[in-house]
Structure 1
């Protein structure tokens, strides 16, 4: 059987070079002929001397025989041809592929994502084990620019970075086809993306199932002296998740008063079309805010859009009140605290001593020196707490270090002074913890308001009744401030505690009575219950009687024909209808009563309040709607204040010429990106 008949080449022995080349060309031509019209995946699989070519280069190149018998390799990517005779080897072909820019470009079309954690969704691909192989189109220029905009804005990076040589090199490697852009282009892209996302946020606000709460605060830039107002919207969406979006970060004209601030907010409401959804406004305790809220409330009442005639629209920031209470006490601070300030300042200003101190703390006392001594800012009481906390942590190292440095001995604390510092730190710990709880923005805070204020109230009463100490004078001043703002607990925020299934109304009443007595507790509980009933009556207007639960206990049945036969006058029929309606309502338990009568959950359980109401929303239709709105109410302005840290990153010395419109676009867009999951690195 001939080689052609057998389908394989017989071994060639003692062949001359010309015979070898002739046979090589014959095999190439035969393989090329056999591959025509056949399986395209084998097009490049040539044989030489009956053997299949094994080099990986043929995955990216074609091997062709020219008319003169010369063999050439053609790159799939750049179409460049190179010699491919067997004597030439493949090293030069591999070298070409490693440097081929077009090949790098095309390799971006296929990539792998290893693992499967998180919530990432993959559009297409083949899963092999724990690896997802994707074949996706190369990202377009517009897609790359949008991604760059997200990167720069979410990380608060200067736009000038896009013109840095290192960044240009990075982009040339990962996206060789991308044409580099300027800082002005990136800024324009960011503003354009802000406008696109603004429509999405507007849709989110429009589709909010309940009312919307707001926080607002003002901030002055240290680089431009411009003052900005930040307005943040808070609501609970259809999935019972707490949402937060900055909807205004606008520059204010100089000497703006409270009435003008109200006008700015009303313009914001008109722009977003949310003026009829207002539930509350949480603001700092400032006189211009009082004027602003009076003007705002008057306008919204004319539109008849507020609940209970705007009784609960104005909420004072609880963190600001805590700050006022604590500052009143710290004004009477003891001399030992001044010693601590001076010593920390001394160590921070002397680098050799600073270095030596932390060496002793680490090597001798095995303390964690990633923690550092902190110097407080007198106007921020929480920084004073942190200073005391760190000073107590390094106590042993401080005593040892001071004893070996003569110039520091004047700052040495006695045992009595160390005891005072410990007492003050323990006392301030309660205020610090409550402030942190009230400052949350991703979880509800209104339901924890009552317990937080109750803890502070209890601490002040207990400390005032204790034997004289470093705290005695402080507490007297703090109690006066507390009574000024919180002698009467905020009613709507106390109502929010009832919607915590672990506490309910009985729990609120128990705690209040424990602190202020039975009589005061009964009055307070009655006020809460009455307020909830009045609110539910307003909410029923949107639901009819769908929220009533239970069965009518009367067996009597009336229809219009029976009434018409019994009564000659329409007024008699109407009187009877009103009587029976009142009787029916008296015999039916309201949703509020049913909820309050059910056994409360265990106080020690970690309960997600929003998920509880999500699960029970079909049982308590009206009550859950009220719960949704009250639980979305923020007790502090911290969510708006946090935007000012963004403002500091946006308005830098090199960016002080940004227009107010651009500043607002960047501040809002960065906040919206955070909500989408683009949180800044810690």
Structure 2
């Protein structure tokens, strides 16, 4: 059975429904607006639509009007969703060029919300702008456009972190944005509110190391941005290489470039590709040791794709027996022959690149929070590279250059306090990693950062309480509660919630990284400025000052108690029952009532993106729109199409959600939904609980704690 089909009740035909679906298909499938003028399509629609007439089918102009109307409706609905977010809104942004060289800025928003259908916490992502950048792409110009987008989506006062790549104009853009927000009285720090795209940092470190091993394209902007003091050509003068001349000769021959040339030659014609495929099938047939070879072809590296050099070398080594046989059978390909030493060197380079590849994939998710992983990944990667220098001393010069580049960006990232907050609200990390890996001063400053942020939230809660009561009181408030969010939904009795696919993929990535680290191993953050309540702007009398002091001390006491209670619960580590299928969103779904102040932090910090991957994916999708047949699209139409397409694709129903079960879910097979409904309707809760307990028996779940499964204590 190739897939699952669900019967859907056919809706009565309406012209409005037809036009809406037609417009949606054109947008999502990147069809030309002229497609509705195709006689064959119109004939097809008339053939299957017995209630349609030719006048009902729109032409290009009418279709364009329908798409614009749909865009306005979806855009306003999106703004309402953003307005109702549970916390602040984070952003990613990048620049992309169309075929006609027009520059466009993509802007995505990320925020925490509740799924209307289930009540569960979800990370929302929307494309809110795909804006033409006119004139020079200076940071000032980009900052102006970004500020305009903020105003349009009404997020000027809800802005949190912005994730950008490491281009120099983004530094100026953040300065410009900070200046404009300051004029509006909105606090915003060009360093503190910026997140540097971690996969892009990894890419820079990889290229810095590769530059020591092979010639890289001169037009590569990342290479042009490397320090002028760096070597312009690979250097092979390290002691380990001098002691291993055969290895050095293989490196000096630029073995990476040799692979690239072979891949290009092998993919240059249909005949070569066919021969490669035939040789692969032949080896699998006649050689028992080759039966496990996958039926795959060679890959060519592309500068615009991260990890592409790793994938090119990895695929070449995987299929090397095929290349070797093919070269042996074609004397005209002898120039592409590889020695055993060259293959050995390539294997070492692949291992070097693989370390980065694993980390890069781990933090590139957009549907599960990854920001808390960044600083630990920096540190872990540096340790792994240190071990790798000992394991492959011949590549130590390249590994050292990559390490230096990583350390440079690690120091820059430590200036951004959101990394600390992201780690602390991750129950698998909390303060433990900071205490174990940072010096005493840095750790103390990090704790002070968390304290000050929680104090701001507590003071805000006090103000909200006063405003709601419309009375003045110097008595301490009751323990803070989340006034913005409804209480956690009750536990589902039959279908137990499991971690999301994104969370499971993240856990799998951690396992791969830990395994790699075990194999290889055979600073400071400035204190955040304390922003307390300054009281009335007018002269305050002594009694008011005394009340304010009491309230401030009480707020500090509440924050200290909140931190102490959060720490006393300990860290969720390997072997902990909650670690199975751990999902950060599910954790805070359950714990928001127990740690109200940290919950407020989670609402603001969890949506922050560790990478600009969401924008990269938008640009990949945009290439499907910007085809030769659609190269004359106006900039406003281009923006409408991209925003609509992103929104429509995000709204697609996942018909397999809930069908892929964990072992625990498969255990729940003996409960009749009708019986549950009857007991619930009759209010027979004790009988219902007994019925559930009986259903667990025989499946190894007799001691299952319902509350514990949801992460409650």
Pair in the same fold by TM > 0.5? yes
1:286-329 Cα offsets, whole Å, 9 max, x none, are 2221111101112223333336x666212222122111111111
Contact persistence 1:367–1:394 (CA under 8 A) = no
Counterpart pick for 1:202 among 79, 85, 92: 79
In structure 2, relative to structure 1, the CA distance for the partners of 1:243 and 1:576 (3 Å cut) is closer
Q: Distance in 1 between matches of 2:478 and 2:317?
A: 56
- Is the aligned partner of 1:139 residue 2:9? no
Residue 160 of structure 2 aligns to a residue whose secondary structure is: strand
Is structure 2 residue 316 aligned with structure 1 residue 395? no
Look up the match of 1:412: 337
Native 8 Å contact 2:451 2:559 kept in 1: no
Q: Deviations over 1:613-652 (max 9, x none)?
A: 1111111112111012111111111211221123222222
The answer on whether the counterparts of 1:277 and 1:305 sit within 8 Å (CA) in structure 2 is no
Equivalent residue for 2:112, pick from 223, 232, 236: 236
1:340-377 CA-to-partner distances (Å, cap 9, x unmatched) read 11211111124333312211212322456642201112
Aligned to 2:569: 598
Deviation >6 Å, runs of 4+: none
* 1:28-84 per-position Cα deviation (integer Å, ceiling 9, x unaligned): xxxxxxxxxxxxxxxxxxxxxxxxxxxxxxxxxxxxxxxxxxxxxxxxxxxxxxxxx
Q: Given the alignment, which residue of 155, 158, 161 partners 1:280?
A: 161
Which residues in structure 2 correspond to 1:292-331 (within 5 Å)? 292-306=173-187, 312-331=192-211
| 2:509 corresponding residue in structure 1 | none
Matching residue of 2:268: 349
2-side partners of 1:409 and 1:211: how far apart? 61
Once residues 572 and 250 of structure 1 are traced to their aligned partners in structure 2, the CA distance between those partners, rounded to angstroms, is 54
The reply to whether residue 496 of structure 1 matches residue 373 of structure 2 is no
Q: Give the aligned partner of residue 535 of structure 1.
A: 453
> What CA distance in whole angstroms lies between the structure 1 residues aligned with 2:33 and 2:93?
28
Quote how far apart the aligned CAs of 1:546 are.
Answer: 5.8
The offset of 1:226, in angstroms, is 0.9
TM-superposed deviation, 1:477: 1.7
For 1:587 and 1:317, the matched residues in 2 are separated by: 35
Q: Cα distance 1:404–1:431, how it changes in 2: closer, same or farther (>3 A)?
A: same
SS at match of 1:376: coil
1:578 deviates by 4.4
Counterpart of 2:242 in structure 1 is none
Once the two structures are superposed, residues 555-581 of structure 1 have per-residue CA deviations (whole angstroms, 9 ceiling, x without a partner) of xxxxxxxxxxxxxxx969975994697
Which protein has the bigger strand share?
Answer: 1
Distance 1:257 1:588 in 2: 43
CA distance 1:585–1:436, change in 2 (3 Å): closer
Measured in 1, the distance between the counterparts of 2:43 and 2:650 equals: 31
Residue 279 of structure 1, CA deviation: 0.7
Q: Is the partner of 2:121 in helix, strand or coil?
A: coil
Moved more, 433-442 or 146-155: 433-442
User: Are 1:173 and 2:55 an aligned pair?
Assistant: no
Counterpart contact for 1:301–1:310, Cα < 8 Å: no
1:15 match:
none
Which residue pairs with 1:250 in the alignment? 131
> What corresponds to 2:28 in structure 1?
154
Q: CA RMSD in A?
A: 2.8
CA contact 2:451–2:560 (8 Å) conserved in 1: no
Q: C-alpha offsets along residues 158-197 of structure 1, whole Å, 9 cap, x if unaligned?
A: 2333333443343223312223322332222112111111
* 1:555 alignment counterpart: none
Q: Number of paired residues?
A: 521
Q: TM-score, normalised by structure 2?
A: 0.68
- Aligned pairs for 1:31-180 within 5 A: 134=9, 136=11, 138-178=12-52, 179-180=56-57
Residue deviations 1:508-530, cap 9 Å, x none?
433x2xxxxxxx44333323212
**Secondary structure of 2:186's partner?**
coil
SS of 1:640's partner is: helix
In structure 2, do the counterparts of structure 1 residues 401 and 315 end up closer, same or farther at CA, with 3 Å as the change threshold?
same
Q: CA deviation at 1:531?
A: 1.2
Please say if residues 211 and 235 of structure 1, whose CA atoms lie closer than 8 Å, have aligned partners that are also in contact.
Answer: yes
Task: Select 2:403's aligned residue among 479, 504, 512.
Answer: 479
Residue of structure 2 aligned with 1:607, choices 579, 582, 585: 582
Instruction: Give 2:248's aligned residue.
Output: none
In structure 1, the gaps of 5 or more residues are 1-115, 121-130, 513-519, 551-569
Q: Given the two structures, how large is their TM-score scaled by the length of structure 1?
A: 0.71
Q: Is the 8 A contact 1:547 1:622 kept in 2?
A: no
Task: Write the distance in 2 (CA, Å) between the matches of 1:575 and 1:542.
Answer: 19
The answer to whether 1:186 aligns with 2:63 is yes
In the alignment, is the contact (CA less than 8 A) between 1:548 and 1:588 conserved in 2? no
| Bigger mean CA deviation after superposition, 593-602 or 287-296 | 593-602
Query: How many Å apart are 1:540 and its aligned residue?
Result: 1.7
8 Å contact from structure 1 (residues 362, 369) kept in 2: no
Considering Cα pairs closer than 8 Å and 6+ residues apart, tell me whether 1 or 2 has the greater RCO.
Answer: 2
In structure 2, do the counterparts of structure 1 residues 503 and 464 end up closer, same or farther at CA, with 3 Å as the change threshold? same
Is the contact made by 2:375 and 2:410 (CA closer than 8 Å) also made in structure 1? no
What is the aligned partner in structure 2 of residue 658 from structure 1?
Answer: 633
Bigger CA radius of gyration: 1
SS of 1:233's partner is strand
Structure 2 CA distance for partners of 1:624 and 1:191, relative to 1, 3 Å: same
Structure 2 SS opposite 1:218: strand
The reply on whether 1:227 has 2:103 as its aligned counterpart is yes
- Distance, in Å, in 2 between the alignment partners of 1:574 and 1:276 is 29
Q: Structure 1 residue 506 and structure 2 residue 387: aligned?
A: no
Indicate the SS of the match to 2:267.
helix
